[in-house]
Homo-oligomer: A and B are copies of this chain.
């Protein structure tokens, strides 16, 4: 009964999560719609249009391109865009002025060469991992702005004015994005990272539990499917790296809010994620053991059943406890409760003469994690 109830709770929390995600997506869509309307007013209202003119286009472009799902992503993309525009515009103006000083056919040559050199160098820098991770978009905008400014310098007389006006409208678009993204139902990458880390703890705990049940209780098909499901959540944990990395990247941009202060140690989340992935790898490798044709006799299985189940449930409990600890952001009673319990488990496991493959591996990883926190 208790088990069924647990499953039910699990399913409930999943549907709850899905609904929450769905709502968040709808809210984000509405926010983008509002931002687009606000920025379109630059065109629609005569007094505003008389001020900015056709450059209002750049504000719309900024909103479309910069407005991302997470507040941190919007901020980082916007700042990248601003920085890229300023740098590219500045260098473009310099190059353009230099070319105009020379004049004649040489000027076109200088422009061509500068376009090639800056374009190639900036493109190369986009492929350097550390720049790619944080400034990819900024460098792209740098190339774009530099090129537009330097070639239109040939045609437009007031190149400085053009650059300034564009920058102003881009700043307007950016301001609209930031205002709407941060103040109207903001969706924080930091919340998401926090939440997904907690979820990973619970997913792993459920996977391990599913494993134990599978190994000791049953051979029928129905349960088989359940264990497959628990392995697929395990795989979700295993493949969480790129998502976690980008979330942490955005979270670092987000200002103080809610329970997260400035300089919140986001890298710790990545380290925890790494350990969780290692544990997920271990759990996944148990699958191979479970499916292996060479299985212990049922008598032997009975003999190891009790200590293994005790150990397994301790590990499940530990994982859930750690997950809850992170969720509520309070220190677990590592020294007092968890470590002695795990040590006890380990001792018990050593007493089992022919230990199952399950026990020791999980145990040592569990300990590694417990000692980490």
Contacts and interface: CB of A to CB of B under 8 A. Distances in A.
Interface in A6-62: 25-26, 28-30, 32-34, 36-37, 40, 43-44, 49, 54, 56-57, 60-61
Interface in A161-216: none
Interface stretch (A110-118, A218-226, A313-321, A325-333): A110-118
B291 A127 contact: no
A262 interface: no
B281 A44 contact: no
A360 B289 contact: yes
B115 A288 contact: no
A239 B238 CA distance: 8
B119 A32 contact: yes
Interface string A349-365: 01000100100110011
A44 B151 contact: yes
B33 A154 contact: no
A361 B241 CA distance: 25
Interface string A284-301: 110111011110000000
Given A40-B115, A119-B33, A25 B127 contact: yes
A311 interface: no
Interface of A (DSSP majority class): helix
A152 B278 contact: no
B40 A151 contact: yes
Contact of A26 (B29, B124, B239): B124
A248 interface: no
Interface in A124-162: 124, 127, 140, 143-144, 147-148, 151-152, 154-155
30 contacts: A25-B124, A25-B127, A26-B124, A29-B119, A29-B120, A29-B123, A29-B127, A30-B120, A33-B116, A33-B120, A36-B119, A37-B119, A40-B147, A43-B152, A43-B154, A44-B151, A57-B152, A60-B144, A61-B144, A61-B148, A64-B140, A65-B144, A238-B281, A278-B284, A278-B287, A281-B285, A282-B285, A289-B360, A292-B361, A293-B364
Given A28-B127, A61-B144, A281-B285, 12 more contacts: A32-B123, A33-B123, A37-B119, A60-B148, A60-B151, A64-B147, A278-B288, A281-B282, A285-B285, A289-B360, A292-B360, A357-B357
Interface of A: 25-26, 28-30, 32-34, 36-37, 40, 43-44, 49, 54, 56-57, 60-61, 64-65, 69, 108, 111-112, 115-117, 119-121, 123-124, 127, 140, 143-144, 147-148, 151-152, 154-155, 238-239, 241-242, 277-278, 280-282, 284-285, 287-289, 291-294, 350, 354, 357, 360-361, 364-365, 368
